[in-house]
Amino acid sequence: MSTATLPKDFLWGYATASAQVEGSPTADGRGLSIWDTFSSLPNVTEDGLSNATGTNSYSNWAADIALMKSYGVNAHRFSLSWSRIIPAGSATSPLNPAGIAHYQRFMEALLEAGVEPIPTLFHWDLPQALQDEYNGFLSARVLPDFERYARVCFDSFGHLVKSWLTINEPNIFAVLGHCIGAHAPGRSSSGEGARKGDSLKEPYIVGHHLMLAHARAVAVYRKEFAQKQGGKVGIVINGNWAEPWDASEESKQAAENHLTLSTLWLSDPVFTGDYPPLLRKLVGDRLPTFTAEESALLKGSSDFLGLNHYTTFYVRKRVTPIEDGDWQNHFFGENESTTTAPDGTEIGPKAGLSWVRPVPWGFGKLLRFLWRRYDRDVWVTENGVICPGEKDMSKEEALQDDFRIDYFRGYIDELAECVKEGVPVKSYLAWAFADNFEWQEGYTAKFGVTYVDHKNNCEMTPKKSAWWMKEYMAAKMGLKDN
Annotated catalytic sites, by residue?
169, 382
Determine how β-strand 312-317 pairs with β-strand 335-338: antiparallel
HSE (side-chain half, CA atoms, 13 Å) at 194: 13
- For the chain, percent helix, then strand, then coil, each to nearest 5? 45, 15, 40
Q: Which helix (H) or strand (E) holds 370?
A: helix 360-374
* Cα 180-183-185 angle, rounded to 5 deg: 95
**C-alpha–C-alpha distance, residues 237 and 305, integer Å:** 8
**C-alpha–C-alpha distance, residues 476 and 91, integer Å:** 46
Q: What is the per-residue burial (b if ≥16 Cβ within 10 Å, else e) of 317-355?
A: eeeeebeeeebebbbbbebbbebeeeeeeebbeebbbee
* Cα 470-121-80 angle, rounded to 5 deg: 70
**C-alpha–C-alpha distance, residues 430 and 444, integer Å:** 19
Cα Rg of the chain (Å, integer)? 21
List Cα–Cα distances, 241 to 130, 135, 238, 357, 416, in angstroms.
34, 32, 10, 12, 18
**C-alpha–C-alpha distance, residues 345 and 353, integer Å:** 19
The helix/strand/coil state of 186 is coil
Query: Phi and psi of 55, rounded to 5°?
Result: -115, 20
HSE (side-chain half, CA atoms, 13 Å) at 146: 28
181: CB partners within 8 A, 6+ apart: 187, 188, 190, 191, 195, 197, 199, 327
**C-alpha–C-alpha distance, residues 221 and 224, integer Å:** 5
Is 369 buried (19+), middle (13-18) or exposed (0-12) by CB count in 10 A? middle
Q: Is-contact 348 360, C-beta < 8 A?
A: no
